[in-house]
């Protein structure tokens, strides 16, 4: 009995709903992180595994028709392990929305190269599931199946072997007579370094940059793929809050020299009682002593415009100065009012908005952008310098759009948009 064709046909069908021609692809949450090398639907794979469980034969090893309890099982026609998957092709990330329109709520983000299971694919939108997030993404920001996998296989996809026998021998060379280096238990997984005709070279361990590898025969392993997943709105907010608390903890440690200097600079700029302070804050007073007066004047206008929106709400993924914006959406919309087009995300802005400058107090001018990040150096926030030792930014849901000292967190980068 040849099951492959009938069951594969049952996996996919087409319907017409609400004016959209949709292709329905069955997906199962169990495959969110791993997909078997067979790549067939779980119904097919589960059936074969059940029929083979007592025989001790791995599903990946069926290459010729066999009999199991009198039933003929044909060799499976190999289907791509990436069938039914999609990958984010956005420059940084794409928003996942609660419905198939751009006015709907943002429920998560799918970063570049991250994987999603395709639940419904329409003409313009795809319904996906990735990690804990289920929602809709515009098709333009996705690449599908093998095309997507080929694009990101070396960046965001990890390929591993999984032992299918009780004890898996890892050998020194590609020979069943070669010396055994180590043995793995059933279901143990190791990353694949290189693939050969009948063997995989796998990573046994890595110590101080030195990698130890070995070889396993394909007859005794399955291959699994591990992917990066979407991050939900709640998960990203929790990460940002953790980073913020870590930064607060670090900045609250005594540092009298920088603390007093920053404090006196901030205080004197507010009262205009210090000549050095008024010199460094000439952008806000329109009494420029350094740099271009034209640039500083425009920068002050942009900063003052941005300050009008202090107290307005924060909205993750938003760009509205009145109804809610996130950090990058806030500076994007502020600069858009003056005819400038900035990239959408803080990470993209840190790479390509204007030109790079040194993020030091003496070097900053009103309108400059300051970028902050986590302990690994990954940018996750942007603020606009107001020219008085302070920044204005869309902070978080609790505080909304607010001002802070420019070094309330240690800035990683700074950029000047105004030429």
pTM of the model: 0.49
What confidence tens digit (pLDDT) does each residue in 185-242 have? Answer: 877 889 899 999 999 999 998 877 788 999 999 999 988 888 889 999 888 888 777 7
What confidence tens digit (pLDDT) does each residue in 128-154 have? Answer: 999 999 999 999 999 998 887 788 877
User: Computed from CA positions of residues 136, 140, 146, 149, in that sequence, does the dihedral angle turn out positive or negative?
Assistant: negative
Alpha-carbon gap, residue 138 to 110, rounded angstroms:
12
Q: Decide if 85-155 and 298-416 have a common fold.
A: no
Alpha-carbon gap, residue 347 to 417, rounded angstroms:
15
Alpha-carbon gap, residue 370 to 376, rounded angstroms:
17
Q: E strands within 122-271?
A: 125-130, 133-138, 142-144, 157-163, 167-171, 180-185, 189-195, 199-207, 210-217, 221-227, 231-232
In the beta sheet, which residues pair with residue 86? 116, 144
Concatenated DSSP letters of 119-150: EEE-SSEEEEEETTEEEEEEGGGEEEHHHHHH
Tokens of 258: 């920088």
What confidence tens digit (pLDDT) does each residue in 22-52 have? Answer: 333 333 333 334 333 333 344 444 555 554 4
Residue 50's SS3 state is: helix
Alpha-carbon gap, residue 20 to 122, rounded angstroms:
6
pLDDT grade, residue 127 (50/70/90)?
Answer: very high
The topology (CATH level 3) of 85-155 is SH3 type barrels. (2.30.30)
Model pLDDT, residue 153: 75
Domain ranges of the chain: 85-155, 157-227, 298-416
Q: Span 157-227: which CATH code?
A: 2.30.30.40
Query: Pick from 377, 385, 378: which is nearest to 417 by CA?
Result: 385
Q: What is the mean pLDDT of residues 241-248?
A: 67
**Superfamily for the 298-416 domain:** endopeptidase domain like (from Nostoc punctiforme) (3.90.1720.10)
Length of the chain measured in residues: 419
Q: Is the pLDDT of residue 12 over 50?
A: no
Element at 241 (helix H, strand E): helix 233-251
């Amino acid at each position: 009995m040849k099951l492959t064709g009938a069951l594969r046909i049952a996996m996919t069908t087409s319907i017409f709903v609400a004016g959209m021609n949709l292709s329905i692809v069955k997906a199962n949450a169990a495959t969110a992180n791993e997909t078997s090398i067979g790549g067939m639907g779980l119904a097919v794979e589960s059936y074969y595994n059940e029929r083979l469980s007592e025989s001790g034969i791995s599903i990946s090893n069926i290459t010729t028709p066999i009999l199991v309890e009198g039933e003929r099982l044909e060799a499976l026609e190999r289907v791509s392990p990436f069938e039914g998957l999609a990958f984010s092709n956005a420059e940084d990330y794409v928003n996942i929305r609660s419905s198939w329109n751009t006015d709907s709520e943002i429920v998560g983000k799918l970063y570049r190269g991250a994987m999603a299971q395709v639940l419904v694919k329409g003409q313009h939108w795809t319904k996906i599931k990735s990690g804990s997030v289920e929602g809709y993404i515009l098709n333009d920001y996705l690449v599908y199946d093998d095309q997507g996998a080929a694009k990101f296989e070396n960046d965001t996809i990890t390929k591993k072997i999984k032992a299918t026998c009780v004890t898996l021998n890892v050998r020194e060379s590609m020979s069943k007579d070669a010396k055994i280096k180590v043995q793995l238990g059933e279901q143990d997984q190791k990353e694949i370094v290189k693939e050969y005709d009948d063997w995989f070279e796998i990573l046994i361990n890595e110590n101080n940059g030195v990698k130890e590898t070995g070889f396993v025969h394909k007859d005794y392993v399955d291959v699994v793929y591990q992917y990066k997943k979407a991050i939900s709105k709640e998960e990203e907010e929790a990460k940002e809050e953790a980073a913020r608390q870590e930064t607060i903890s670090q900045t609250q440690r005594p540092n009298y020299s920088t603390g007093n200097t920053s404090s006196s600079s901030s205080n004197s700029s507010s009262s205009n009682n210090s000549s050095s302070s008024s010199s460094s804050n000439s952008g806000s007073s329109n009494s420029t002593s350094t740099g271009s007066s034209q640039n500083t004047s425009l920068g002050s206008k942009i900063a003052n415009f941005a300050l009008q929106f202090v107290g307005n709400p924060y909205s993750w993924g938003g760009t509205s100065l009145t109804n809610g914006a996130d950090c990058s959406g806030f500076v994007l919309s502020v600069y858009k009012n003056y005819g400038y087009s900035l990239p959408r995300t803080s990470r993209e802005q840190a790479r390509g908005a204007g030109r790079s400058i040194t993020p030091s107090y003496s070097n900053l001018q009103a309108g400059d952008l300051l970028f902050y990040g986590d302990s690994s150096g990954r940018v996750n926030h942007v603020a606009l310098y107001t020219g008085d030792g302070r920044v204005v930014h869309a902070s978080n849901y609790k505080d909304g759009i607010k001002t802070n000292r420019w070094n309330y967190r240690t800035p990683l980068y700074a950029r000047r948009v105004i030429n």
